[in-house]
Amino acid sequence: MNLVDLLNDSKQFNETQNIICQYILNHSEDVVKMSARALAKETYTNASTIIRFVQKIGYENYNDFKIHLVHDLKEYQAADIKITEKEKSISIVDKISELEKMSLKKQKINYHYNK
């Protein structure tokens, strides 16, 4: 399960953790630039709550969490590539090429993680 899917699974979190999840999902591009303290301020919690939260979901520290968040956001962007019925063939080829690049990058990342 990737990080975005994990954050969407609210059954495993308490009320405060769900607030943190929703903030991260709604402001993910901002969160990757924030410190734990800044995220805590935005979610009306404290930095230690944020640290405990990222550890609960399996990350060693907040920076590790942010690295995985950036990676998973890029994967979700790939899902946004759509081919329409009236699209020109050169555009379709460009989109397929972009999907192939993303797939190769993902395979390379998985290879390094599993090594």
Residue 83: predicted pLDDT: 66
Kindly report the CATH number assigned to the domain that includes residue 18: 1.10.10.10
Residues 6 and 58 in one domain: yes
Give the Cα separation of 90 and 78 in Å (integer).
18
Residue 60: predicted pLDDT: 94
Residues 51 and 96 in one domain: no
Q: What is the mean pLDDT of each run of 10 residues along the chain (115 residues)?
A: 77 92 89 95 97 94 92 66 73 73 57 44
For the chain, how many structural domains are there in total? Answer: 2
Q: How many CA atoms lie within 13 A of 60 on its CB side?
A: 3
Residues 24 and 62 in one domain: yes
Per-residue b or e along 62-82, where b marks 16 or more CB atoms closer than 10 Å to that residue's CB:
beebbebbeebbeeeeeeeee
Domain that holds residue 112: 81-115
Residue 74: predicted pLDDT: 72
